[in-house]
Structure 1
Amino acid sequence: MKVLIGAALAVIAAIVVPVIALAGIVLLEGDAKAIESDGGGGLRNVPAEFRPWILKADAACPEPEMTPALLASQLWSESKFKTTKEEATSYANAQGPAQFIPDTWATWGRDDDGNGQTSPWDIGDALMAQGRMMCSLLKQAKASGYGDDPRALALAGYNAGWGWVDYYKGVPPPTFANGETYGYVHDILNDLPRFQGPGQLEVSGTGSGADALRKAATRIGTPYAWGGGTPSGPSTGYCDGTNGYLNGACSASTTEGFDCSSLVQYAYWDNIKLPRVASEQYGATSDRPVARDNLQPGDLLFWSHGGSGSIYHIAMYAGDGKVLHAPRTGKNVEIVPLATAMPERDYYGATRP
């Protein structure tokens, strides 16, 4: 959500019709669908920390046009799921993953995550506020009688203010604000299939391994970045003279993603705080080896050029003879057969964190 052009503020103030608050929203304490798979609740390609809140925000809205994928696609357009002040503050001072300006946040923000503060930087607070506002805008769009898709009208109201939707009797045209609102609506609706489930991996069972695999599966499609990735999510990496290059250029320094070991660290954090690099992850878990014919989802698999001191790759067992891993520069996080993930001769063994 952005203030589009400073010169239009006076006009907006004159024509904006206040968004009507939606009463009677029930906040759910949990949603079992959220942990079924990468596509839990009909949702995929969403970071694990966002998924339960998207599902709660969707469940709290009675409007059928609201879907988890709509909220996810909108978040992608707003912030690319970023949560830091450096990465998720716009030129118009829109803040947080759902990009609320302070005046609008004062209307929609609540302490939904129960941490004692109401902040657009808290994922739970931001996503529930996004859901409340979108739900109200959908209701208003359907009552308006304008001919556009209610989802398009609601998205336009979120981006530009409902007053501009009233002014144009629909989504503002490409000539408005250099096409920002028009493009915003088009891109979000066009990207919906990217976030619609089911996901690529179904994970059954409970425990730290299954939970870690579910979390890692939310990052399928994330680029590989040598040296990139933290327990909080993807980040840019670096090149070391040998690794991180693509077509002669340092790809890692401009790519936000994971390498093989940071993906595993991210997947198990906070439940198990594994070290950062693959050889150290092997050292931290080598006292719990697992035979290849006894692998369980979430087990760690290692490849080496010769001995524990030469481990160069780590993956997570995904069941059915497959692994989930971040393979190499130029590739994305993916699911592939164990037998072909890396050279078979280099397979060193498996452990269970």
Structure 2
Amino acid sequence: MHRPSVLPSLGVEMRCGSVALTSSRGPAERSRADRYRLPRVAHRAVHGQARGSGLEAKRGIGLLAAAFVVSPLALGLGIVLLIAAFDDDDGGGDFQLAAGTLRVGPGYVPAKYAALIEKAAADCDQGLPAGILAAQIQAESNFNPNAQSKDPATGKPIADGIAQFIPSTWASEGIDGNGDGKRDVWDPEDAIPSQGEMMCDLLETAKKHPEYNGSPVELALAGYNAGWDRVRQYKGVPPASFAQGQTYNYVKIIMEAQHKLTAPDAAAGPGMSGEWTRPVNAPLGTPYHQSGGMWSSGYHTGIDFAAGVGTPISAVGPGKVVSASRVSSYGRQVIIRHPDGMHTQYAHLSQLKVKAGDTVKGGQVIGLSGADGNVSGPHLHFEVRTGPAYGTDISPLPYLRKKGVNI
């Protein structure tokens, strides 16, 4: 789903620094031959060739608001973008929380798509956060199922639907999500599950490359946007110099937007207090993403603090304990979900001071440091994750520093 030098989805294209407007077309305007092609291939395939096409860049950066918009990417290019034919139906009503992990309502995830996104994430066995899929759809089409992007040079359609699939990718990756016997790129009930499976595949592949620059989720997003060949070429997320920063900004925008679209826990709302802080007052040890055969992923998924046995370990910020138990190589661990939807993990503890379901404040002691699990000595292993599952890690230090932690 590459497109050459196309900026946002939703019918906005860039050519030689100018912006051209196109209108979104509905399914009735496309032939069945274009909408339904080859049988779908097995989705667990290894990603070799760029998954959308052989073009330089995949989908452009979608926008995060309607009407007149200055997108983060457009700012970098000095372009103000005008969006036409937005479908901004949010399902109506005031702000509410979804039953799962997404914010639902005006300015967030439309109610009619929340369950589809939640299920697409839950169906992935690689720990794919629903907030990532939601932010991705927002960036691609702003939740508009009739969005269509066109080649600025030829005027021909490039990418279609709520997840902005190009025809060649849809032919191989599109699935019949609602079981009606058709694979319809214009139907969110087909397109969103297809997006989820494609991201799940990419996340699985990304975890096999700990030597690449970027977390598995970031690498998967880059692969979805530019094709895995580009991720392999740059051994990580392509730099800002690639394709006028399309992929670089695509990943950055989605990683930031997921927090807005992820619902805080009910317990992590009114009445919760506590500053953000270091998990322990101890020197830093093994850094994030250090390679090594001692880790099952092939790299270090967090950072270590050289804390002796019995040293108090604190929650870095307010949140709700989702897990407090002994887990294989991590030993005794605590996982906390924070109001922004992110999770922090504290592992190799000698004692647990909280239990699942507890509400904690930043700085509250949640356990004592130890050497439980697969370790060579006492220390705290600390992770920041986009979801509770293993493999959704991101670099902890930038996250903490954005919260005002001096570390």
State the TM-score bracket (shorter-chain normalisation): 0.3 to 0.5
Q: Comparing both structures, which one devotes a greater share of its residues to strand?
A: 2
